[in-house]
Structure 1
Amino acid sequence: MSSGRSWVINALYILLSIFSFGGGLVQSCGYIIPESPVLTRGSSFTALCILNESCLDLGNIHANQIIWRIKSSVVPKEQYHVINRTVSSVTFNDTSILATPLTCNILADGQIEQNIYGIAVTVGLPPEKPENLSCIVNQMSKSKFIMTCTWNPGRDTFLATDFRLKSQWPQETLPDCMPQGVNNSCNTSNVQFFVNLEVWVEAKNALGKAESEPIDFDPVDIVKPLPPHNLIVSSEDLPTVLKLSWDNQIETFEMELKFNIRYRMSDSPDWMEVPPEDTESHRTSFTVQSLKPYTKYVFSLRCMKKDGMGFWSDWSKEKSGVTSEAKPSKGPALWRKIDMFHSPNFWAVHLIWKKLDPSEANGIILRYEVTVRARSRLSPSPATYNVNSTNLTLNLTNGTYEVTVTAHNKIGGSPPSFLLIPATEFQADRPPVKDLKAFPKDGKLWVEWKVPNNNVVKYVIEWCVVSDSSDCTTEWQQELGTSQGTFLKGNIKPFKCYLITVHPLYNNGQGNGQSTKAYLQQSMPAKGPTVQTKKVGKAEAVLTWKPLRVDEQNGFIRYYTILYRTIGGNETAVNVDPSKTDYTLSSLSSDTLYMVKMKAYTDEGGTSGPEFTFTTQRFGKGEIEAIVVPVCLAFLLTILLGVLFCFNKRDLIKKHIWPNVPDPSKSNIAQWSPQTPTKHNFSSKDQIYPEGSFTDVSVVEIEADDKKSFSDQDLKHFNLLKKEKSTSEGHSSGIGGSSCMSSPRQSVSDSDESETAQNTSSTVQYSTVILNGYRDQIPSVQVFSRSESTQPLLDSEEKPEDNSGGCDSATPRQQYFKQNCSQDETNTDGSHFERAKQVTPPINEEDLVGLAQLQISDHSLQQCGSGPEQNKHESALSDVLSSSTEGQILRLETMGINTATVDEIPKSYMPQTVRQGGYMPQ
């Protein structure tokens, strides 16, 4: 192999050794000796580069131009030695630095380095002597055995090393065994028992060979037999015995065996062994004793050569079996809970007991027998109860009771468990335990206490998981009276809070229980508290929060930390006792946004709650009141001064805002009467009616065709008025003008048609003065009086279209009355009378007095001879018959006025209105 690899390397370097000298190609000009050396690591080595004579004539070439390289690295020139013109050597004192390839190079013309030759260098170590040679004969089947020998090959040689297992009998050499895939083990099936065999190992490589020390043995003494098989476990009549049987897989003529038997309870990982001296003989069965009744056991066994030579077999497959039942060896652990009814003299006693362990039950428990006996002189015979469960509730009266519980299986009953229920819960001779503590220890929860006195019979330890989401389900266990501590038995979980209570039991009853809380393992809280503000002021804020739920604590809360800061400010931390639920932050800045959060800490660390923000107030308590109250007082004072000023200047204010309006009640018409002119000459202080006691003028227009609707009596009144009218014309002037003797004012319309006075409608103008009242209310007294007012008419009265039966040719301010209106207009104005029929207020006696005055006024009108003035006087009759502007209408029918002829009824009129507090302009 080495020569072939060397040939390939030499061929490669021959191809690389072709140079161009003077423009021509030449072959290799030299070589290196030794060729492909194998060197011991750490030894010295010298190589020679020899130039060919044929190459010396091609140019100025000399051995001192040779350069040695290891791969691409140049060997220092101190290691060169020029022997002559054609030979150069290089020496290495430590071959461990050598690597492949080692090349010889030369500087040709032009100072160009050219390769001449190269070799492959192999560096390694010779093999060491194999050590620890050992052999074992493995049984593969009943008739097949294979011998396996192993050894220690020694150090790595970095070279190809061959190992051979050599063996020979005393008179014969056996074929060598070649390892397959490994260099430290070899298997051979040529095994002969009862013949001594010599075995050794030979190692060989290019640098040398080595042999191990030989070993000599009989293959039967190094056998590892197959384990027994077909193992069977069967129970016997005795509850503490199980019988094993099996088959051996090696013939007795080849060797006799001895055995090891091991067993364990099915729920335990710990194995127990049968004493070796009981199983040293060759056998196929064995009876295991001293087992627990009605307990499941698991068995396994192994074997080896009886004299102890050789190796143990592997363990057989495991088989299990159950022992027979026996009476329970122990009574159940018994405890009780007492619930008092409405009276402490009646109890509900809940008896509870634990199931026996299988090792104590010794079988299947079929039932429990409970006996209850009262301790009193007149007590009846004990009550016995058979139950299938592990609890029983009894309703008892207050007293002392002895309770026993016995567990029964098919073999028999257990020893009874005893419990005394005293009449009282506490006595001085039954003190509680002292210094109760609970903490984790060795991965369990350890509870310890100090003994109250030496009379304690046993202790009952109760515990339950404290949780917000479920009730505290109590578990319990009993310990001996000599105990001062114990581990809680059961599934104790981490991060859960356990409430632990220890009760000492005495011969005469039970002592008070002492309680504590503990965690098997703590962690950081699942969440932090959620903080809120209860009250926020200018420089302080009251924070409040709810305590974490027990399920969220994961440990004992040692303290809270409040972290608060402003935007962009430093965070401030305050530690708070875990018993508190509120805290007041002080020295805060006013009108500032704060961010606050809380962390809850256990022994394992803290967890933050959500962040909460609040803003302090701009003003402190009482500051707003100090500002608002003075402002309000100043405002009220200003208003008060303004009111006083207005009161003092009321005349000036009234002059500019509420000017005086003439009162129609104070006009001459209010003081004038046709018959007794001096009757109404009252002074301003002696007014018949007070100021503002007059309302609007009532106007009624009667058409000639409406005479038929009046009664005879009414017509007589009209005729009377007609007569009085002609006699009174010379004593009174029309409304809006002076008396009869004054210069006449054009107030009668000029009609183109010449009609007699009997055929022409007259217009009578009078003011109807009515007592003050609300709209649509009729006063009790009506007085008819002449109006002497010369006030011009309002716009609504000046417009003809606003009056009944107005003339189209008349302008509002050119005339005071209608002038010779056509018959069509008169008919239109008759609607006033028709509406007057619909709403006719009753007329009392005072109204009739007013009507009489109207007749007198009409008589005065008749004395005036002027035609225009007569029309004005005749309008007074229309005023009597007209309705007021407030909707009050006077019907002639109710007034008792005699109906007149068609020619005597006024045809048109111009209303005048006297209003409360003033008058309407004419």
Structure 2
Amino acid sequence: MMTYTWMLVIAVLVDSANGAGSQGDIQPCARIHTSSSVVPLGSPVTATCVIREDCPLVIGQAVHIEWRLGSELILNSLAANESNRVSRIVVPSFNRTEALLVCCIQNCSQVVTGVEIRAGCPPEEPQNLTCQTKFSSPSSLNCEWEPGQRDTHLPTKYSLHTEIRDINENYTYKLPPDVHHYSIPRNEFVLFNDIKIYVKAENDLGVATSAPLVFDPVQAAKFDQPSIETLGVEPKRLGCLKLKWRMSQQQSWFSHNQLSLEVRLWTADSDQMSGPPILVSQVRPSKAVTECCRLLHGTRYLAQIRVRYYMQGPWSEWSSSKSGVTLETAPTGRLDSWMKVSKNHTSKNLDIQLFWKPSKQFRANGQNLTYVVLKPNRRDKRERMCSTNEKWCTFQVSRRVRKVYLSAVNSVGESPLTEIRIYQPKAHTAIMDVTAVPHDDRSFLVQWRAEVTLGLTDYVVEWKPLLNLDLSHIRFEIVNKNQSSLIINGSFEPYKPYGISVYPRFKDGMGPPQTVNAYLRQKAPSVVPKIQIKKTWWSDIEVSWDEIPLQQRNGFIKSYQVFYWEENGSVQVERANAEDRKVILKHLNTPSTYEAFMMVSTFGGSLNGSTIYVKMNSFGWYHILIYHLESQ
């Protein structure tokens, strides 16, 4: 409010003192002379106020000149009055960004004249100047920079300057306030010629110039996405793919210039890159054929490419992916196997369940694999027992057969035979205390303790979903005999039960497993069984219920609780564990009506069931009057 009052007083009185509204030339009543009207923030300001002898405000008066800065009176110790018409002031540190400095008389009730002083900082050097050439229509050279962290408190102008040396052309682009970028049109820069670019920042206190950039605009060009036309093979070039590509149609004019090309590849069944991107330098789009080698045989790969100006400049975006398959060769390496043997009680044969999976050294080297299980016969030939695309098969063999052979076959050949010994089950127990608990959202931690270690070769950990008994869902892992735990990963689902078994394997056979069930995560059951009256006595009722189907349990059943009460009576609870599916409701009054319902709990939640009304009479009879469903 004070600032507004002084501004009004200045406006009125200065006009009056200057003779506003009179005819002829207007002479100011006084003048303030300052060292500068714009000064560095915090610097001293010197000002002198000179009042004309014929100023109407002071004619015939001896006046004392005073000073105000904004709304504050300046101490007399800072002012020096040389006469009653001249006063000099020194403000030792001007710490405001702007203020009105006025000289006045009569205890500053009358303002003679004033001047606005502004303060700030010189501009900082513009930072991080970058430029990128855009070839898409319309073509341009786009530059941007950062103005600096410090606020100058003064209007600062920016200008972008270019110098094209070979043709001696210079351009200056003046920018609006607070704009720190500019697009140079295509007709004002030249490709394949160096251009010098820098930015100037200027205000009333100085000029600052950025570090210059000197480059060929082609070096700063970000090209459009290239495209892969084909990804194929050539005869006898094992482990190689031939990649044919092209630039975008708008940039096909660049086809005879050198570029750098980068290729990245990954197998179709994996999200992981097959290795670091392959860099190909000094490649011309007019001869856009590149060969990528040292790849797996008979494997489908996906490829993407990107380009940039030869060894410099920003990379383009990655192209769309294209797939191709390397030439096939026969499978190599061995298969890990797991055989479960049981005696057939209706014949003298053995029932075999054989499972397998690739070892770390195995290479399919082809797209479509068939697995073959062979049995030796008396004539030193092999009889085919299975031929399948699955990773398991079942068959019977005579108890005299000691081994079978397993191999993988593709369109070119077959892998070396894997010999699998047939051992009949051993009777003695070797595994104790198997546990399986969730390790994270996708895996279980399985732990066990070995009771017998003599002759032990290794362990087999097997797991399967209990809601799908198809053998194709069985998985296994072979574990070193010195281990006693394993983290198993797979497509585990929450609220679904899994069976996990640990088998000991010995030199002469397989020991019996110990099996546990496990849930990755648990929640309340999906249903609550209906309460059924099984027996009655004079004042007691035995109730029972059916087992909850496995697919609706959603976890391990921890307990059943039956709540019952008569009208206006207290609630009583009878509990049963997971194995006992019955309880006795005791000390019932006759004749009375009771309400009852069951709550079933897992380790992940609980669910309440329907309520029943039971009426007792003096003869020990009962009536179930009504069922109704409680809100769940």
Structure 2 length as normaliser, TM-score? Answer: 0.67
Aligned to 1:300: 304
Query: For residues 76 and 563 of structure 1, what CA distance do their matches in structure 2 show?
Result: 83
Indicate the SS of the match to 1:176.
strand
Q: Which deviates more, 345-354 or 324-333?
A: 345-354
Q: 1:195-220: CA deviations, max 9, x gaps?
A: 66554322345x64542333252436
Distance 1:314 1:587, change over 3 A: same
Q: 1:446-501: CA deviations, max 9, x gaps?
A: 3344565475566554433334xx65766223433527455545432111010122
Aligned to 2:623: none
Aligned to 2:127: 132
Indicate the SS of the match to 1:407.
strand
Query: How far is 1:516 from its partner?
Result: 1.0
Query: For residues 380 and 271 of structure 1, what CA distance do their matches in structure 2 show?
Result: 46
Aligned to 2:551: 551
Aligned to 1:841: none
Out of 458, 479, 482, the position equivalent to 2:480 is: 482
Contact 1:127-1:203 within 8 A present in 2 as well: no
Contact 1:536-1:617 within 8 A present in 2 as well: no
Q: 1:816-859: CA deviations, max 9, x gaps?
A: xxxxxxxxxxxxxxxxxxxxxxxxxxxxxxxxxxxxxxxxxxxx
Contact 1:196-1:216 within 8 A present in 2 as well: no
Out of 270, 273, 283, the position equivalent to 1:268 is: 270
Aligned to 1:287: 291
Indicate the SS of the match to 1:134.
strand
Q: 1:117-152: CA deviations, max 9, x gaps?
A: xx9999895563133243335362799773624233
Indicate the SS of the match to 1:551.
helix
Aligned to 1:324: 327
Aligned to 2:316: 314
Q: 1:515-530 residue pairs with structure 2 within 5 A?
A: 515-528=515-528, 530=530
Indicate the SS of the match to 1:410.
coil
Query: How far is 1:368 from its partner?
Result: 4.2
Contact 1:150-1:186 within 8 A present in 2 as well: no
Aligned to 2:183: 187
Query: For residues 214 and 256 of structure 2, what CA distance do their matches in structure 1 show?
Result: 16
Aligned to 2:62: none
Q: 1:369-408 residue pairs with structure 2 within 5 A?
A: 369-373=372-376, 382-385=382-385, 387-388=387-388, 390=390, 394-408=395-409
Structure 1 residue identity aligned to 2:269: D
Aligned to 1:6: none
Indicate the SS of the match to 1:300.
strand
1:610 aligns with 2:605: no
Q: 1:739-778 residue pairs with structure 2 within 5 A?
A: none
Query: For residues 56 and 548 of structure 2, what CA distance do their matches in structure 1 show?
Result: 103
Q: 1:831-850 residue pairs with structure 2 within 5 A?
A: none
Aligned to 1:904: none
Aligned to 1:223: 220
Structure 1 residue identity aligned to 2:435: K
Distance 1:212 1:267, change over 3 A: farther
Indicate the SS of the match to 1:361.
coil
Query: For residues 518 and 502 of structure 1, what CA distance do their matches in structure 2 show?
Result: 13
Aligned to 2:158: 163
Contact 2:225-2:316 within 8 A present in 1 as well: no
Query: How far is 1:54 from its partner?
Result: 11
Aligned to 2:366: 363
Q: Which deviates more, 484-493 or 406-415?
A: 484-493
Query: For residues 608 and 416 of structure 1, what CA distance do their matches in structure 2 show?
Result: 55
Query: How far is 1:222 from its partner?
Result: 4.8
Aligned to 2:419: 418
Structure that is richer in helix per residue: 1
Q: Which has the larger radius of gyration?
A: 1
Contact 2:564-2:572 within 8 A present in 1 as well: yes
Q: 1:377-397: CA deviations, max 9, x gaps?
A: x89965335635546654555
Query: For residues 570 and 399 of structure 1, what CA distance do their matches in structure 2 show?
Result: 72
Q: 1:11-63: CA deviations, max 9, x gaps?
A: x989x99xxxxxxxxxxxxxxx99xx9999999999x9xxxx999xxxxxxxx
Contact 1:228-1:247 within 8 A present in 2 as well: no
Could you tell me which runs of 5 or more consecutive residues in structure 1 were left unpaired when the two chains were aligned: 1-8, 18-32, 56-67, 84-91, 102-115, 622-922
Out of 193, 199, 202, the position equivalent to 2:200 is: 202
RMSD: 6.2
Contact 1:133-1:200 within 8 A present in 2 as well: no
Distance 1:565 1:364, change over 3 A: same
Structure 2 residue identity aligned to 1:601: S
Indicate the SS of the match to 2:363.
helix
Contact 1:200-1:211 within 8 A present in 2 as well: no
Structure 2 residue identity aligned to 1:404: Y
Structure 1 length as normaliser, TM-score? Answer: 0.48
Q: Which deviates more, 560-569 or 519-528?
A: 560-569
Query: For residues 138 and 572 of structure 1, what CA distance do their matches in structure 2 show?
Result: 82
Query: For residues 311 and 602 of structure 1, what CA distance do their matches in structure 2 show?
Result: 62
Query: For residues 176 and 159 of structure 1, what CA distance do their matches in structure 2 show?
Result: 22
Q: 1:258-290: CA deviations, max 9, x gaps?
A: 4443322223222245687x7455565443222
Distance 1:534 1:45, change over 3 A: farther
Contact 1:522-1:603 within 8 A present in 2 as well: yes
Structure 1 residue identity aligned to 2:410: N
Q: 1:359-416: CA deviations, max 9, x gaps?
A: 8322244654432247xxx899653356355466545554444222323222111222
Query: For residues 415 and 462 of structure 2, what CA distance do their matches in structure 1 show?
Result: 25
Query: For residues 600 and 39 of structure 1, what CA distance do their matches in structure 2 show?
Result: 82
Aligned to 1:176: 172
Query: How far is 1:552 from its partner?
Result: 2.7
Distance 1:203 1:136, change over 3 A: closer
Indicate the SS of the match to 2:231.
strand
Distance 1:585 1:174, change over 3 A: same
1:154 aligns with 2:153: no
Query: For residues 536 and 315 of structure 1, what CA distance do their matches in structure 2 show?
Result: 80
